[in-house]
Amino acid sequence: MPTLLTTLLILLTGVLIARVSAGRLVAWAVPAIVLELLVGFILGNTVLPFAAIKPLSGLTELGVLTLFFQVGLEVRGDLLASRRNAILRTVAISFLAPLLAYWPLRQGFGMAAPETLLCLAVLSATGTGVTLRVLALGNALQTPSGRLLVGVSVLDDLPAIALLSVAMASAGQPMGGAGLAGPGPLLGLALAALISLAVGLWARHRPERPTTPLAILIVLIASSWLGEASGLTSLLGALWGGILLGRLSPPEADVSRTLSVLSDVFLPLFFISVGMRISVGTLLEPAAWSLAAALVVMAVFSKLLCGLGITAADRAAGVDRWLVVFGLVPRGLPGLVFATTALGAGVINPTQFSALVIMVTATTVLGLLLLERRLAERSRAMLIKP
C-alpha cells in the first residue's frame, strides 16, 4: 500500500495530466471532467486501487460539497427575476419527464425500486458547472436564453437531490454515515427550520456577516454535517447552508474566491476517485452497456421534452429553445455525485454504477458539443444580420 504522500503525488499528477490534455482537446468540446474520469479509471485498475485513497475520501468530497454550497448561494430571489414562469415550467418538466422511465427501467432491467429511483435522480440532474462555463466562454450568460438556462440549471438539481434522498430512504440506507448519532430526519428538519429562523432574525437585527474564509468554511462544514447526520444527505445540507449564507449577505468577491479555491483543488480529485471505482470487469459485461444505452436515450429524450416549457412568447423575447435544451443535456457533476453516493451505500451494484458513469460522460460530451454548435450558429447569424 503506497504512503499518503505517494498517493497524493500520484493523484495530483493525474489531475495535471488531465488538465493539460483538456487544453489540447478543447476544440473537441471534451471537458476536463471526462479526462479526469479516464485518468482515474487507468490509475484504479493499475498502480493505485481505490482502496488506497479511501482515507482521503473526505477531502475528495469537500470539492463536491463546495459546489453544492455555491449552488445554494445562487438560489436567491433575483434568480427568478427574469422569465419566472418559463423557468418554473421548464424545471417542472425536467423533473417529471424522467419519471416516465420508472416502469421501463424496472421491467426491462429487473431493477428494485431504490435502484430505479436512483437512476431517475441521475436523469433529473443537470451539470450546472460545465453548462455555465460554456455560456461564459460564448459571452451568452446575459442573453435571454443564457439567463433562463442559468435559472433552470440551478433550480433543476433541487428536486433531483430530493429524489436521491427518497431513493436512499427506500433502500433503508440513510445518507448519514454509519455510527453517526444524528438527530434523525424529522428532528434534523426541525433544527434546520429553527436555524433558518434564527438566520432571518440575525440578518434583520445584526450587521455582522460571515465573510472570512474561516467563517464560510464553518458554515459549509456545519450545514453539511447536519444534512448527513440527520439522514437527509450532506449534499442537501451544503445546499441549505449556501441558501442561508445567501440570506445573510449576497455572495461577495471574497466568498466566491474562497469557494473557488476549494472546488478548483478538490473537485478534480473527486472525479479521479470516481473513475477509480470503475473496474475493467464491469465494462466487459453486456448488461452495463445495454443499461447505459437505455439511460442515454432516456436522458436525451427527457431533456428534449423541456423544450415544451419555452413558449412562443419566450421565443419572441429572444429565448432560443434549442440553446436551453442543449444546455440541460449534460448531467456532469451531480450525476456522478448521486451515482457515487448510491454505490457507497450499497444501493446500486458496480455494473449499474459503470452504466451511470457512461451515461453521464456521454450526455456531458454530447450536450456540450450541441451547445457550442448552437452558440456558434447564433454568433454567425448575428454577424450577418443587417
Tens of pLDDT, residues 101-141: 999 999 999 999 999 999 999 999 887 767 777 777 777 77
In this structure, of 176-185, 252-261, 268-277, 322-331, the range with the lowest mean pLDDT score is 176-185
Cα-based distances in Å from 58 to 54, 136, 267, 274, 318: 8, 31, 12, 13, 44
Whole-number pLDDT of residue 181: 43
Cα-based distances in Å from 208 to 215, 259, 354: 11, 20, 47
DSSP state, residue 175: S
In this structure, of 27-36, 51-60, 284-293, the range with the lowest mean pLDDT score is 27-36
Cα-based distances in Å from 150 to 20, 82, 128, 147, 306: 28, 10, 8, 5, 14
Whole-number pLDDT of residue 300: 95
In this structure, of 35-49, 163-177, 236-250, 316-330, the range with the lowest mean pLDDT score is 163-177
Contact 358, 25 (CB under 8 A): no
pLDDT, the chain, mean: 80
In this structure, of 165-169, 282-286, 299-303, the range with the lowest mean pLDDT score is 165-169
Given a cut of 70, whether residue 249 has pLDDT beyond it is: no
Q: Give residue 39's Cα distance to chain centre.
A: 20
Whole-number pLDDT of residue 176: 45
Predicted confidence band of residue 175 (pLDDT cuts 50, 70, 90) = very low
Given a cut of 90, whether residue 99 has pLDDT beyond it is: yes
Q: How many Cβ atoms are within 10 Å of 127's Cβ, its own excluded?
A: 28
Whole-number pLDDT of residue 231: 62
Whole-number pLDDT of residue 1: 61
> Residues 192-220: what's their mean pLDDT?
77
217's grid cell: 468554511
Q: CATH code for 4-384?
A: 1.20.1530.20
Domain locations in the chain?
A: 4-384
Question: Which pTM does this prediction carry?
Answer: 0.78
Q: How many Cβ atoms are within 10 Å of 186's Cβ, its own excluded?
A: 10
Whole-number pLDDT of residue 134: 76
> Residues 18-46: what's their mean pLDDT?
75
If phi > 0 it is left, if psi is from -120 to 50 it is alpha, else beta; for residue 233 that is left
Alpha-helix residue ranges (DSSP H) falling in the chain: 4-24, 32-44, 57-74, 84-96, 102-109, 113-124, 128-137, 144-170, 185-205, 213-229, 234-248, 253-276, 280-283, 286-304, 312-316, 321-328, 332-344, 350-384
> Residues 156-173: what's their mean pLDDT?
80
Cα-based distances in Å from 283 to 280, 354, 355: 5, 7, 8
DSSP state, residue 177: P
